[in-house]
């Protein structure tokens, strides 16, 4: 994948790439969109994207777009969780001895939320997702990262486990029609 290039955008730059973000989403989730599930429809996805990149709330948002020959083939994004984050709302932690209050304590520098990784279905299985994952997390200064994965997505789930993530609970986001996700955590700093 020597021809794989990365472009980084903050929240403002990401908003300027809105049409590109939707295009990559449509090419990455064809079956989910065709299923008719309201949560997976492009208009609903873009509402979430707009909320993530809202300049009033997007402190630290970062989008990474992977391109091959100037064609966007995948994207990922995330942001540091601030003290008033809604990310942990509805968390049901695993029974691993973790004290719930401490686990969800955020200060804007403790946890990076990796919100999305998506690859054009025609490019799946080429290592692009892993490259995007590593590119987004490279140089992060937070002590840990978190992400949400649907338990019935075995391909993604297996990849995350191989990349050093571990399950810590489950939650259902407050977005309309959101499914229940498994919560994964990965240490970023020692």
pLDDT tens, residue by residue, 4-39: 999 999 999 999 999 999 999 999 999 999 999 999
* The predicted structure's pLDDT at residue 46: 97
Residues 6+ apart with CB under 8 A from 110: 80, 81, 142, 143, 144
Q: How far apart are CA 153 and CA 118, in angstroms?
A: 13
Q: How confident is the model at residue 67 (pLDDT cuts 50, 70, 90)?
A: very high
- Is 41 a residue whose pLDDT tops 90? yes
CB distance 181 to 147 below 8 Å: no
* The predicted structure's pLDDT at residue 176: 86
Tokens of 38: 């309201």
Q: How far apart are CA 190 and CA 187, in angstroms?
A: 8
Backbone angles phi, psi at 186, to 5 degrees: -140, 135
Q: Which residues of 140-174 are buried (b: 16+ CB within 10 A; e: fewer)?
A: bebeebbbbbeeeeeeebebbeeeebebbbbbebe
Over residues 35-48, the mean pLDDT reads: 96
Tokens of 132: 């995007």
* Closest among 104, 149, 102, 151 to 129, alpha carbons compared: 149
* The predicted structure's pLDDT at residue 2: 63
DSSP 61: -
78 bridge partner residues:
62, 114
- Is 56 a residue whose pLDDT tops 90? no
- Is 42 a residue whose pLDDT tops 80? yes
* The predicted structure's pLDDT at residue 97: 54
Q: How far apart are CA 10 and CA 89, in angstroms?
A: 25
Helix (H, G, I), strand (E, B), or coil: what is residue 158? helix
CB distance 173 to 149 below 8 Å: no
- Is 1 a residue whose pLDDT tops 80? no
* CB count in 10 Å sphere of residue 42: 14
> Roughly how many angstroms between the first and final C-alpha of the chain, as a whole number?
30
Q: Are strands 144-149 and 111-119 parallel, antiparallel or unpaired?
A: parallel
The chain-wide mean pLDDT, for the chain, equals: 93
Q: Read off the pLDDT of residues 74-133 as tens digits, 9 standing for 90 and up.
A: 999 999 999 999 999 989 988 765 557 889 999 999 999 999 999 999 999 999 999 999
**How many residues are given for the chain?**
190
């Amino acid at each position: 994948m020597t021809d794989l290039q990365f472009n980084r955008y903050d929240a403002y730059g990401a908003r300027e790439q809105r049409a590109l973000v939707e295009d990559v989403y449509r090419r990455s989730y064809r079956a989910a969109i065709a299923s008719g599930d309201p949560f997976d429809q492009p208009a609903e996805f873009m509402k979430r994207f707009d909320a993530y990149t809202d300049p009033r709330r997007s402190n630290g948002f970062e989008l990474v777009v992977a391109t091959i020959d100037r064609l966007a083939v995948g994207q990922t994004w995330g942001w540091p969780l601030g003290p008033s984050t809604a990310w942990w709302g509805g968390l049901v932690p695993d029974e691993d001895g973790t004290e719930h209050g401490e686990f969800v304590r955020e200060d804007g520098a403790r946890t990076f939320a990796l919100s999305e990784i998506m690859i054009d279905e025609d490019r799946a299985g080429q290592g692009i997702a892993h490259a995007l994952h590593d590119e987004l997390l490279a140089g992060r200064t937070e002590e840990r990262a978190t992400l949400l994965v649907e338990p019935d997505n075995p391909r993604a789930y297996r990849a995350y486990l191989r990349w050093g993530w571990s399950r810590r609970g489950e939650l259902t986001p407050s977005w309309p029609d959101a499914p229940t996700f498994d919560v994964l955590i990965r240490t970023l700093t020692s």
